């Protein structure tokens, strides 16, 4: 029973994050919201696996967590340096 409540809470949190992702004025607001959506999706997968008594969903959750971090860092790097192949490092200014 509590798993259903938890799944509903995760869905509510995902909905609020989607609103922020649609409304966010800057790209960084959208990235914060996208990160939250990814984490919520992982939690939703885990809770749904327990709800239906199929814990195999956890593997998908782990995979999704790894993809989420890579995607967030890639988008942030693109918006900071304008190029995914940038060598990184500190800019002289700022």
Partner 1 sequence: MIPELIVDIVSGVFLAIGSFFLVVGSLGLLRMPDVFTRMHATSVSDTMGAGFLILGMIIQAGFTLVTVKLLIILLIFFFTGPLTTHALARGALAVGLKPVLFDRNGRKRAKEQKLVQEFGVVEVRDQPPARPTDPARAEKKAAAKTRKPAKSRSRKSAGGKSSGGKSPGGRGGSSSKR
Torsion of CA 52, 16, 28, 61, to 10 degrees: 0
* Minimum distance, C-beta of residue 17 to partner 1, in the bound complex (Å): 6
Q: Are 17 and 37 in contact (CB under 8 A)?
A: yes
The nearer residue to partner 1, 23 or 52, going by C-beta atoms, is 23
Q: How many CB atoms lie within 10 A of CB 42?
A: 19
* Interaction pattern, residues 48-77, with partner 1; x per rule: CB under 8 A: --x----x--xx-xx--xx-xx--xx--x-
Q: What angle (nearest 5°) sits at the alpha carbon of residue 64, between those of residues 50 and 20?
A: 95
Does residue 91 interact with partner 1 by CB under 8 A? yes
- Residue 48 makes CB contacts below 8 A (sequence gap 6+) with 7, 57
> Residues interacting with partner 1, by CB under 8 A?
1-3, 5-6, 8-10, 12-14, 16-17, 19-20, 23, 25-26, 28-29, 31-33, 35-36, 39-40, 42-43, 46-47, 50, 55, 58-59, 61-62, 65-66, 68-69, 72-73, 76, 79-80, 91, 94
């Amino acid at each position: 029973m509590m798993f259903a409540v938890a799944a509903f809470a995760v869905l509510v949190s995902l909905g609020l994050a989607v609103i922020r992702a649609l409304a966010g004025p800057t790209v960084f607001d959208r990235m914060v919201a996208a990160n939250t959506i990814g984490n919520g999706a992982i939690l939703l997968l885990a809770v749904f696996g327990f709800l239906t008594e199929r814990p195999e969903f956890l593997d998908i959750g782990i995979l999704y967590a790894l993809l989420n971090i890579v995607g967030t860092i890639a988008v942030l790097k693109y918006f900071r340096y304008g190029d995914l192949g940038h060598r990184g490092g500190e800019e002289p200014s700022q």
